[in-house]
A and B are shown apart, each in its own frame.
Chain A
Amino acid sequence: MSATDRTAPIVELRGIRKSFGELEVLRGIDLEIFAGEHVVIFGPSGSGKSTVLRSINLLEPPTSGSLKVAGVEYGPGVPGEKAGRRGKPLELRRTVGMVFQQFNLFPHLTALDNVALPLRSVRGVRRADAQVRSAEALRRVGLLQRAAHYPQQLSGGQQQRVAIARALALDPKVMLFDEPTSALDPELVGEVLKTMREVAETGMTMVVVTHELSFAREIGDLNVFMEDGVVVDSGPRGFFEETTSPRAREFIMAVR
């Protein structure tokens, strides 16, 4: 169990809706995430899990609804409410880190430079300092010895750990993980989960979309089951055993 600060949510979604053309894929999402909390989002394919994550850092700007991160409003607003001042996406993304299913390392850069590039361009860290900080970030995920390697010289698990180091090096307040182990060979899943567990232990606020329900049971302070663009049911630890939603129970049985 992690120490969570429950005074004010660090991420707050209210009535988040998202349409792609005619298709409405998020149909009103409400979610409160407190600092230090580890949130698991799960549900069938196409239910909108990725879209929820991607709206938190505005990779997919919501069509309507309120998105507050660290007290600043970034969403287009809830219909009927007066729209206040809105923060810039660039600022938001400097507070929120993201790890992708496909790793998305920059293939033309070494592991070290993958971490150093955003440090330099986002935080304005000078080259030499950025290299030291990047090396430290790689050490944290156990990959210091691979600093000079290019992504294609690394296994999938190692690439994903570099991606985690790259996001962590920027000192985000919140980390988003979109199915971080789904593209990995089964024998490589463990090392990435281990790294994520270590990140969780530092008290980082995490939102994790995953089908690894045993991992979810282990870290989930708040567990959210989604289907068809809505949150069907959610709950604290023990959710996987205690949920009363038939759909959630069915899904949990099927995944296991």
Chain B
Amino acid sequence: MYDWGLIWQHHGILVNGLLVAFKVSLFALVISVVGGLALAMMRMSRPPVSWIAVAYINIFRGVPALVSVIWVYFGVSLLLGVDFSVFEAGVIALSLLYSAFMAEIFRSALSAIPNGHREAGHALGMRPIRVFFSVILPQAVKIALPNIGSMFIGMLKDTSTFTVIGLLEVVRVTQNLVSQTFQPFVLYTAAAAIYVIAAFLIDLVFRLIEGAYASPPRGAVSRLLRSRRQRRIQSLMAELGS
């Protein structure tokens, strides 16, 4: 009745679907982190500029991924007279939406940094831009990391709606397999499992990154990465300590 062997038989196709979804999400993650940070900074600056950011955030936070990708693929492409590939359309659609979410994440992370740190940087004679990039941002990123991780999982799941424009992500390849094998229960169970496992792995990776960014760093990987620096400090201490 249920042919669970189908999953193994077609695992290559299913995994490929995941890789496509993953690639779209990863591109969109990078773009929306940069875009979100820029929006957050606009949001925190003076009125005419902050209004633009507020408008953007409130509009794009509310648009579903499905609507966004259709709008980009069929609407914006027509308006601009460019043909986006389904892959490009997917990346753009996700980036537009998630920049808005990232902006809110970065805004709360940036405002969580005590003003004293900024003042200390300025009092030391550091340029404002240097204070931002060397003092404020690294701390804000640390605070934002867990939320960025959940956003990434959200993006991966949102790629499932891109089946409407024919992107060969998990749901699309599953549909194709179902139409050949008439085993929807088995195959959609597999699809669901793929998302769950992918989410689990993303969470794991973000936890590792968080550990590496912690002060002091946690975990074997980060200790390994820092061991050279630590040795350098040890030798300095030995040199000057005597």
Contact = CB atoms under 8 A, between A and B. Distances in A.
A106 B123 CA distance: 13
Interface in B198-242: 213, 215-216, 230, 232-234, 236-237, 240-241
Contact of A144 (B213, B215, B241): B241
A145 interface: yes
Interface stretch (A10-18, A77-85, A114-122, A216-224): A114-122
A57 B123 CA distance: 7
B125 A93 contact: yes
Contacts of B114: 102, 104
Interface residues of A, number: 40
A153 B127 CA distance: 28
Nearest to B232: A131
A148 B127 contact: no
A105 B135 CA distance: 10
Contacts of A106: 117, 120-121, 135, 139
Contacts of A167: 123-124
Given A90-B125, A106-B135, A170-B124, A59 B119 contact: yes
Contacts of A228: none
Given A93-B124, A93-B125, A121-B130, A148 B117 contact: no
Contact of A110 (B117, B139, B233): B233
Interface string B2-42: 00000000000000000000000000000000000000000
Given A152-B215, A153-B216, A104 B119 contact: yes
Most buried by B among A132, A148, A166: A148
B134 interface: yes
B91 to A, nearest CB: 31
A98 B240 CA distance: 26
B123 A135 contact: no
Given A107-B215, A147-B233, A170 B120 contact: no
Query: Is chain B's binding surface mostly helix, strand, loop or mixed?
Result: helix
Interface residues of B, number: 29
Nearest to A145: B237
Contacts of B117: 104, 106-107
Nearest to B116: A104
B236 A121 contact: no
B142 interface: yes
B134 A117 contact: yes
Contacts of B124: 93, 97-98, 118, 122, 166-167, 170
A90 B236 CA distance: 31
Nearest to A123: B125
Contact of B233 (A97, A148, A166): A148
Contact of A121 (B126, B142, B232, B241): B126
A136 interface: yes
Contacts of A153: 216
B47 interface: no
Contacts of B234: 148
Interface string A127-154: 0000110011001000011011111110
Nearest to A122: B125
Contacts of B127: 90, 121
A94 interface: yes
B154 interface: no
A152 B120 CA distance: 17
B75 interface: no
A104 B216 contact: no
Given A107-B139, A131-B232, A136-B240, A59 B122 contact: yes
B138 A108 contact: yes
Interface in A58-106: 59, 90, 93-94, 96-98, 100, 102, 104-106
Interface of A: 57, 59, 90, 93-94, 96-98, 100, 102, 104-110, 112, 117-118, 121-122, 131-132, 135-136, 139, 144-145, 147-153, 163, 166-167, 170
10 contacts: A98-B120, A100-B116, A102-B114, A104-B117, A105-B120, A106-B121, A117-B126, A131-B232, A135-B237, A166-B124
The 5 closest A-B pairs by CB, nearest first: A104-B120, A93-B125, A94-B125, A118-B124, A98-B123
Given A104-B117, A107-B139, A108-B138, 12 more contacts: A94-B125, A106-B117, A118-B126, A121-B126, A122-B126, A144-B240, A147-B236, A147-B237, A150-B216, A151-B215, A152-B215, A170-B125
